[in-house]
């Protein structure tokens, strides 16, 4: 469990200014968060004795042009003063503290551009807090039922507290990611629709080539419905074999990526919290792709068969 004091702040370093969030964390944050493994500059140190240090996200450090090796310049942090301070006097309206930057971390752009880590005691002093916190981060062991723990905490704390998991804390980011997933799926469906014209052409040519065979079947008593069913079944078999083969190939590629991470994110080692593109195979995703291919295959089979069998319905043997 990590005590957190978080607030929007105005940051000033030499002549540069930037608005970000200061996140004051307790000393055990290092052991639970693993952010220390994602340092790109400097060391993961927040406090040593009575000295406090700041760790900046890569985006914040870039905007402020911070040089962590320049010990003459400190990072100034301004936050609105609690109470009814005069907004016409800058000195009275803001609390200000200075802190040396000790390092830069890079996790993800969404966080790197807005987070500065500081000791919780520094944040409390800056915000005129005594022992208050704005939130508490709880880290669970691998395999723990997250939903159950969240429900238990909500029941214990009541309606006066919000209990959010990682996804709910970054809801906007994950909504964007889900939207991107849907957009990619729709693009792939459009590609499948374009590819289905090959099936339309193949079935059309097949029907024309098999006109004499169709005439033989008609002379033996086959009606138009049976003939259509034969060609539609052939089109569906093509879709079935293609979809199964594609899903198997996709499964193998995703499994290899999950196990070996052959497709890397790039940017050099340590630039991201993970080194390879993450993958997660979900049964519903496979099912959705399979059903999409079958529906498109059915439509691509039905149209040429329906049109051409109607057009050549009066064929006979000669």
Distance CA(255)–CA(181), nearest Å, equals: 19
Segments forming the whole domain that contains residue 86: 2-137
Using an 8 Å Cβ cutoff, are 257 and 225 in contact? no
**Is the same domain home to 277 and 189?**
yes
Question: Cα–Cα distance between 65 and 82 in angstroms, integer?
Answer: 30
Nearest to 214 by CA among 201, 200, 224: 224
Q: Do 73 and 117 have their domain in common?
A: yes
Q: Which two tokens stand for residue 133?
A: 């916190």
Q: Is residue 162 part of a domain?
A: no
Give the span between the Cα atoms of 65 and 59, in whole angstroms. Answer: 10
Confidence (pTM): 0.58
Together in a domain, 177 and 296: yes
pLDDT in tens, the chain (318 residues): 788 888 899 999 988 999 999 998 888 887 777 777 788 888 888 888 889 999 999 899 999 999 988 888 899 999 888 765 555 565 677 888 899 999 998 887 778 888 999 998 999 998 888 888 888 777 777 777 777 777 777 887 777 777 777 777 767 767 777 788 888 888 988 888 888 888 888 888 887 887 788 788 778 887 878 888 888 888 888 889 988 999 999 999 988 988 887 877 665 444 455 567 778 888 988 999 899 888 988 888 888 887 777 666 554 434
Where a domain ends, among 117, 137, 157? Answer: 137
Q: 203 and 82 in one domain? A: no
CATH number for 110 = 2.40.70
Residue 109 counted as domain residue: yes
The residue among 137, 156, 185 that closes a domain is 137
Boundary-marking domain end, from 137, 156, 182: 137
Structure tokens at 134: 């704005």
Asked, for residue 145, whether it belongs to a domain, the answer is no
């Amino acid at each position: 469990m990590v005590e957190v004091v978080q607030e929007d702040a105005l940051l000033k370093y030499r002549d540069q200014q930037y608005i970000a969030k200061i996140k004051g964390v307790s000393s055990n944050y290092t052991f639970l968060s693993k952010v220390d493994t994602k340092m790109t500059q400097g060391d993961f140190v927040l406090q040593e004795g009575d000295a406090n240090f700041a760790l900046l996200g890569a985006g914040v450090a870039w905007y402020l042009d911070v040089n962590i090796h320049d010990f003459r310049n400190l990072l100034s942090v301004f936050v609105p003063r609690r109470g009814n301070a005069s907004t016409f006097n800058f000195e009275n309206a803001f609390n200000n503290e200075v802190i040396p930057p000790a390092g830069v971390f890079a996790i993800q752009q969404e966080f790197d551009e807005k987070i500065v880590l500081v000791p919780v005691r520094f944040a409390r002093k800056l915000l005129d807090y005594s022992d208050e916190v704005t939130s508490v981060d709880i880290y669970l062991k691998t395999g723990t039922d997250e939903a159950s723990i969240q429900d238990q905490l909500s029941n214990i704390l009541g309606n006066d507290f919000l209990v959010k998991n990682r996804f709910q804390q970054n809801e906007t980011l994950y909504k964007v990611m889900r939207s991107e997933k849907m957009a990619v799926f729709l693009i792939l469906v459009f590609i499948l629709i374009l590819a289905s014209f090959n099936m339309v052409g193949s079935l059309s040519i097949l029907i024309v080539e098999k006109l004499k065979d169709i005439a033989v079947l008609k002379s033996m008593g086959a009606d138009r419905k049976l003939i259509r069913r034969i060609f539609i079944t052939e089109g569906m078999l093509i879709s079935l074999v293609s979809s199964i083969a594609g899903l198997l190939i996709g499964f193998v590629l995703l499994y290899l990526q999950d196990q070996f991470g052959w497709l890397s994110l790039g940017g050099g080692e340590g630039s991201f919290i993970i080194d390879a593109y993450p993958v997660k195979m979900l049964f519903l995703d496979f099912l959705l792709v399979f059903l999409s291919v079958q529906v498109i295959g059915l439509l691509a089979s039905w149209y040429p068969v329906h049109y051409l069998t109607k057009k050549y319905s009066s064929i006979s043997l000669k």
